[in-house]
Amino acid sequence: MDHPVLTAIRRASFTPLGWFAPAPDDRLPDSARFVILIGNAGPDMFRRFARERDPDRDTLDDWTRDVVSRLAADVDARAVYPFDTPPQPFLTWARRGGAGHVSPLGLNIHPTYGLWHAYRAALLFPVAFDLPPPSPGRHPCGSCADRPCLTACPVMAFDGTAYDVVACRSHIAMPQGAQCMSQGCLARHACPVGQGFAYRQDQARFHMKAFLAAGQRKGT
């Protein structure tokens, strides 16, 4: 879909993942008349990050805040982030924005990108846009009888109702978890939706290292 703001988002190497006009119960500032969720889907965002920062030293959150704050200024918006404190209800906003459904893993599954996307920011606009609401389509997991995502994890960290974060982190920290560490979550890889957007190995390693480091800081 073409729109000057959507084009600006794509030029900044981010992907528009959904949008909506907020209602009072969406926990947004009264001045917000339209919200566009943006993030990564495919390799463009990470390629830009790796060009501009050192992935072995710099954080994606810091880079995101720097880049998106400039983007927000360019399109006359205010940016909020999923790593803000207190945390913002991005998955609730995703439902409002037609950005997908909840998968058996508890992750959002997008109709196009599958499990291979992530929210990096929401742009809040003081005016509403004439954009048709995106449709999440039919829930792809409803017709997936085998649900391979629930059996692909080597330590069965997912059971369809909960995610065993400790078991997951413990596994990838050991030699037995080398495949997960280098290629990314095997449960995500098992899902047939959006496989063309699966993270490349350099991006997968980056995210897994960040996930492991976050656990070490928290002591989990």
- Domain ranges for the chain, please list them: 4-125, 144-218
Q: What residue type is 165 in one-letter code?
A: V
> What local confidence, expressed as pLDDT, does residue 218 receive?
66
Residue with tokens 């805040």: 65
> What parts of the chain have a pLDDT lower than 50?
none
> What local confidence, expressed as pLDDT, does residue 193 receive?
95
Q: Specify which residues 38 forms β-bridges with.
A: 16, 121
Distances (CA, A) of 133 to 67, 95, 99, 129, 202: 26, 12, 10, 10, 34
> What local confidence, expressed as pLDDT, does residue 219 receive?
60
Q: Specify which residues 79 forms β-bridges with.
A: 123
Look at the pTM and tell me if it is higher than 0.75.
yes
Q: pLDDT tens, 143-191?
A: 999 999 999 999 999 998 899 999 999 999 999 999 999 999 999 999 9
**Of the candidates 67, 79, 82, 147, the residue with the CA atom closest to the CA atom of residue 115:** 147
Strand ranges, E, within 49-163: 78-80, 101-102, 108-109, 117-125
